[in-house]
Structure 1
């Protein structure tokens, strides 16, 4: 298996070997791509992971309450049927 330190050193050597003009173009292209992605993603109706997790917990609690209420209603209906 390859040593992560060796891989990091190799990546640094390759990055250092790239001419400065190419590095600048790559950095500019990366910046433009990030800007376009952020712009397009902001147009979508997305929620954050935190919001999703919170709503998931709310849904779990709501389901638990619904199950409890359904059980209680079944018990009450059974009692009414006995009378």
Structure 2
């Protein structure tokens, strides 16, 4: 039978080793680089995008209704 405590200790030691390894520094630097690039690209969050998309859809629907109303009023004009 596998000793679960032994596996847990091994996992803990491996995590600690990776946390202090150069790979962790590389990961941190890569995240900082990509974060910097994203901020320069002026990206928006998914939530902000969805809000703006919803507002645009409502504005488009209202514009279509107003255009239909104007066309109706112009058609009535003698």
Give me the TM-score of the superposition, normalised by structure 2.
0.71
Query: Structure 1 segments of 4 or more deviating over 2 A?
Result: none
Which stretches in structure 1 are left out of the alignment for 5+ residues? 1-12
The aligned residue for residue 35 of structure 1 is 32
- Given candidates 52, 66, 70, the residue that maps to 1:69 is 66
Which stretches in structure 2 are left out of the alignment for 5+ residues? 1-10
Q: Separation in 2 of the partners of 1:26 and 1:50? A: 32
Q: Bigger CA drift: 52-61 or 39-48?
A: 39-48
Q: Which has the higher contact order (CA 8 A, sep 6+)?
A: 2
C-alpha root-mean-square deviation of aligned residues, in Å?
Answer: 2.5
Q: Separation in 2 of the partners of 1:77 and 1:39? A: 54
Q: Separation in 2 of the partners of 1:29 and 1:58? A: 41
Give me the TM-score of the superposition, normalised by structure 1.
0.67
